[in-house]
Amino acid sequence: MSTDSTPRVLSIQSHVVHGYVGNKSAVFPLQVLGFEVDAINTVQFSTHTGYKHIKGTILKNEEMAELIEGLALNEVDYYTHFLTGYSRSPDSLKQIASIITKLKQKNPNLIYVCDPVMGDNGKMYVPDEVLPVYRDILVPLADILTPNQFEAEQITGLTMNDLDGALKIIDALHNKGVKTVVLSSTDLGDEQNMIGIASNKDSCYKIVIPKFGATFTGTGDLFAALFMAWSHKTNKNLKLTLEKTIATLQYIVKDTFDKARGLLFVWLLR
């Protein structure tokens, strides 16, 4: 068992060779924010699945079991946090539930952060069969849940047309047992802004997020990692955690956006 105060996270997410989603989005920022990160890759793909050709491999359940067994045998499976994201198979998500049980035996105070990565803008980008596993098995185990609007609607079966609808969805997720619900983005803003909302049993905060005119992939994964890290660093101060998470994200998203515009400018000069 670890005796130092360094936060230690096991992060189970995707890996891509090119670009930044899943563990490629989460690991480095978490390390910068002081976390010791152990990473298991649910898939190893060339790129994220928005590309035309999807090539790579999916971790099998027995391979995942072997990795977890290795950590346990070597007694390096004490974690303060457990973070899960992109996973394509309902079976591997069920396996994650049993991993939580094992990790909680080592640390009953383990914080489980569940990013129910399923889709965005009305479309699923994982098989439909993962939805009931999130809804009925993993979500009830989550200390922190970080869905986007589409994912929150899918999990609850409710629609978010206005702030009142968002609060009903948040309540439904709390009623499933989730301590902290964070909607990483919703369409409740306007042309220029999206809205993020964070809620626990004591309070609920809304934040206005200025929109850049581009679509980003991997920002949801970064959001979940940053929210977990800032929650730890602010001693679970919900308002500060939401502000810091968005401020860090905006800095990175703006930089990416400016660079993309810069590249376009260079390209146009040729």
Ligand X SMILES: Nc1ncnc2c1ncn2[C@@H]1O[C@H](COP(=O)(O)OP(=O)(O)O)[C@@H](O)[C@H]1O
Chain positions contacting ligand X, by CB under 6 A: 120, 148, 184-185, 196, 209, 211-212, 214, 216, 219-220, 223, 246, 249, 253
Give the residue, chosen from 7, 29, 196, 218, that forms a contact with ligand PXP under the rule CB under 6 A: 218
Determine whether 221 is an active site residue. yes
Binding-site partner at residue 125 among ligand PXP, ligand X, none, CB < 5 to 8 Å by type? ligand PXP
Q: Which stretch binds ligand PXP (CB under 6 A): 46-54, 130-138, 192-200, 233-241?
A: 46-54
| Beta carbons of 226 and 85 less than 8 angstroms apart | no
Q: Is the Cβ–Cβ distance between 262 and 223 less than 8 Å?
A: no
CA dist 119 and 227 (Å) reads 19
Residue 130 binds ligand PXP, judged by CB under 6 A: no
Does the protein bind ligand PXP through residue 151 (CB under 6 A)?
no
Q: Does 146 bind ligand PXP (CB under 6 A)?
A: no
Instruction: Select 108 or 213, whichever has its Cβ closest to ligand X.
Output: 213
- Structure tokens given for 130: 């993962």
Kind of pairing between the strands at 81-84 and 56-58: unpaired
110 or 113: CB nearest ligand PXP:
113
Contacting ligand PXP (CB under 6 A), which of 50, 127, 210, 262? 50
- The 10 Å CB-count burial string (b at 16+, else e) for 73-83 is eeeebebbbbb
90 binds ligand PXP (CB under 6 A): no
Residue 196 contact among ligand PXP, ligand X, none, beta carbon within 5 to 8 Å by kind? ligand X
Burial status of residue 103 (CB atoms within 10 A of its CB: 0-12, 13-18, 19 or more):
buried
Does position 79 interact with ligand PXP (CB under 6 A)? The reply is no
Q: Which of 94, 160, 91 is nearest to 122 (CA)?
A: 160
Closer residue to ligand X, CB minimum distance, 71 or 169: 169
134 counts as binding ligand PXP under rule CB under 6 A: no
**Residue 81 to residue 238: CA distance in whole angstroms:** 17
Distance (Å, whole) CA 87 – CA 75: 26
By CB under 6 A, residue 212 contacts ligand PXP: no
Class of residue 57 by CB neighbours under 10 A (exposed 0-12, middle 13-18, buried 19+) = exposed
| Min dist. Cβ of residue 207 to ligand PXP (A) | 18
Of the candidates 91, 128, 221, 255, the residue annotated as catalytic is: 221
Q: Least distance to ligand X from the beta carbon of 231, Å?
A: 15
Active site (catalytic) residues: 221
The residues binding ligand PXP (CB under 6 A) are 14, 16, 21-22, 43, 45, 48-50, 86, 117, 125, 217-221
